[in-house]
A and B are shown apart, each in its own frame.
Chain A
Amino acid sequence: MTAPLLSVRDLHVTYRSEAGPVPAVRGVSFDLHPGETLGLAGESGCGKSTIAGALLKVLPPGTEVTGEVLLDGEDVLQMKPGRLRAVRWTEMSIVFQGALHALNPVQRVGNQIEEAIETHRTTPAATARVAELLELVGLPARRAGDYPHQLSGGQRQRVLIALALACNPRVLIADEPTTALDVMVQAQVLELLERLQRELALSMIFITHDLSTLSYVCRRTAVMYAGRIVEEGPAEEVFAHPRHPYASALAAAFPLIGDHSHRMNPSGLPGDPPDPRAIPSGCPFHLRCAVVQPECPELDVELWPAGDGRRAACIHVLAGAAP
């Protein structure tokens, strides 16, 4: 296998808050190879969006980030400010969630794309490039003159994708790009991202809470819980035959259309995601786990091999039995 393009090693992110430190990411490692799409799934608050911010070092000031984010072997976290600004958007860019205020409401969308191009001077003909980008994501070029509020949710998401592609990045981080869009538009945006990834040979990190989306877009998937990866492996395998009880709960939360057993038994996961300030001891999932064992509250779980290039952080994997 080729050397990874992006290699994250033992990443820890701790937010500062008035109530004390909040460890949002607690030791995450993964590799992203050229041309590959890696999925990152989990509930709200599991730390997946924090990882997106940490990769480009755009978390709020005062946030403590340790570990390594190696881009072609160079640690993003150790870069000097000038080098970091040069790397942002040209090497790695983020597709923000369009439902949020990710676009400046009082500036025309074309200008916001142009600003990225001009900052990095990737091409002298910025206006032409904006038109080209908008057409690439399926929007007419005249939309460049619109303000964000004049666009629909799906169109805003397309603008954000065009914006992320402005400086030909090698790594695209898609942070919940389909959340809060209606189902038809979700499908269109997913299709667009998947096509662009193929045509532009992008390496992509796709962050979502929807495991079924991942099996469509990604080859490999990591499932996060309480700031750690609890299962990783080929996307379809993880979705169809999860090894970690949390991954199976997450997979079951998205019923298969036409499957009667799902329809009669909509499954949810009891309890709430743990408070990052008070992570349960041992396996952090033991309080909500359906197959909890007596030793789980004390067991130091880590990602154990689970066969076929898969790994899972569960005692059942260690014991060699499927949960």
Chain B
Amino acid sequence: MSAAVPIPVIQLLQVLTVALGAPGVMGLIGCVEARLQGRRGPRVLQPYYDLAKLCRKEALAPLGASWFFLAAPFVAVAAYLTIPLLIPVLTTYGLPLGYMGDILGGAFLLALASFVVATAAAETGSPYAQLGSSRAKTFSAITEPVVLFVVFTVALLTGTDLPYALAATVRSSAGQVIRPAHLLASAALFMVILHETGRIPVETHTGTNEFGMIEEARSFEHSGPYFALLKWGSMLKQLILFTILADVFLAPWGLASTQRLGAVLLAVVALIAKAAAIGVVVAVIDDSFAKLRLFKITEYASAAFLLSVLGVFTLYLGGG
């Protein structure tokens, strides 16, 4: 039908899809959320304009901040742009660089990015940025066990922890989709994603009240292009997590199984559509629940932990 796309180009396309699609997904969530609240809301393309505007602005750094403060946004974005090489974004078959790391490799990169941003925020001396970075680290320590148990579930289901293997297992039969271990792990992962992307019920994404902030507060002291990079980074993180949920757990369909141009382009459209669908769900959740009090977040994390632990349990006895 159409020409074959060379493998390196597909690999590059995976990164480009995530890099360019991320602000759009963020914009869509903002738009849907506003519509649900009866507001007109910003355009879907608003995040692109925001990023462009920030890039033209002057960058200032707090007095006494070192080179690390300025390097952190770059490191974070570089880490986020590496992850799409490791996970199935567009193809069902593993691309050459896809075997550089498994799910844990991806998790390490996410953790690295969040670590450098938190360290840069702690370095500024600004109380709110420091508060955000310490909270972000505290709560990510609480959700870490959930992620580990989700990975255990994947490992028990497939005998490996390569994301491509789980996607292939889920595609293989309806029985694989309906088994409790898979559903419980997916639900737990979704709860972790709500936490990681700073959404209700953990954090108000668009809130301006510093006392409720976790992730959002970390970038307070950055400005200009550096701030733009941090914002873009959090959009990238969101789309990457949505991609993992959709292409590995919930709906690994619509991926290209050949190198044909048509199939690859279709996969790009499918990915954005799936991410948009998850985004709409997230927007509905954002509008229908209240933010949890900070000390109630442990209860939220314990609920997610319960789901992931039960997922591992049910796999024993061969039945899960």
Q: Say whether A associates with B.
A: no
Question: Interface of A with B (CB < 8 Å)?
Answer: none
